[in-house]
Amino acid sequence: MGVGRSKLNLYLALIRWDRPAGWLLLLWPTLAALWVAAGGFPGWHLLSVFVLGTILMRSAGCCINDVADREFDKHVKRTATRPVTSGAVSVKEALGVGAVLALLAFGLVLTTNPITIGMSFAALAITLAYPYAKRYVSMPQAVLGMAFGMGIPMAFAAVLGEVPPLAWWLTLGNLCWVLAYDTEYAMVDRDDDLRIGIKTSAITLGAWDVPVVMLCYLGFITIWALVLMKYVQDALFYIAIAVALAQVVWHFSLIRTRSREGCFTAFRQNHWLGFAMFAGIAASYAMQP
């Protein structure tokens, strides 16, 4: 019993079960897209599919990422104790856990429609590609942004059976947000990443990191505000935008000195910005007659 519990704890650590901020960053824009596509509450079936699917795919992505980065993670203090890196969980085990989680997520997608099912393969391909982008792409955060944004067009596809231009505009805005918060994350490990040869946006941007992060935040909020104004017309949406902008100012205060602690706090608290945007959208639809 003790061995089984110990192994379960290792698997939970592998999928970052104790760090829900990761899947919340995926969840809020996906739910926002569901609400917009459905013109309000999307129904319990699709809500369950996308909430559970988001958690499962983020967990599977952690398994894949840790296997791909296990040699790099040994040289970074923050990641050296991860289960795969430390040897507590084997590569075979981690890939097995990831495969099971991805299959469970695919089972949920099978309850939707053909276009959504087809898009799930593209989402999986980008998820698999991201860990290796850090070796070859100067801005791998853009690849992550594509992976983290796939829930948006998939949500529209599941509701409408098609992906309208609005979905791609929201995906573009979300890409800006991912670039902002994952650059903050990369700023935490910049010294270690330079030493071991990983490419990140924090390294590529250099002294422009903070200004570009701020521009990306503003790009996200501006794009969403402009494309949604004719769909989400209640004042609550604009209050949510103001709350989101206030958080951007707070993030600037956290990262402007580029301290590891400030940048990591900024990254970990980003889900509140996403929640503010989703809450404004959902509340606005709830207020419509």
156 with 162: CB under 8 angstroms? Answer: yes
Question: How far apart (Å, rounded) are the C-alpha atoms in residues 280 and 285?
Answer: 9
Per residue in 194-248, pLDDT tens? Answer: 888 888 899 999 999 999 999 999 999 999 999 999 999 889 999 999 999 999 9
Least confident of 27-36, 136-145, 202-211, 277-286: 136-145
pLDDT in tens, 98-112: 999 999 999 999 999
CA distances from 74 to 10, 67, 78, 90, 158 (A): 17, 12, 9, 15, 41
> Per-residue DSSP letters for 244-286?
HHHHHHHHHHHHTT--HHHHHHHHHTTHHHHHHHHHHHHHHHH
Strand (E) or helix (H) holding 197 = none
CATH architecture group of domain 2-287: Orthogonal Bundle (1.10)
Reported as a pLDDT band with limits 50, 70 and 90, residue 4 is: low
Which residue in the block uniquely carries the two structure tokens 């897209």?
33
Residue pLDDT, tens place only, 115-128: 999 999 999 998 88
Give me the residue label for tokens 């099978």: 110
- Provide mean pLDDT across the span 285-289: 86
- Boundaries of every domain in the chain: 2-287
Asked if residues 30 and 24 have their Cβ atoms less than 8 Å apart, the reply is no
Who wins on pLDDT, 243 or 76? 243
Could you tell me the pTM of the whole model? Answer: 0.92
Question: pLDDT for 266-275, tens place per residue?
Answer: 999 999 999 9
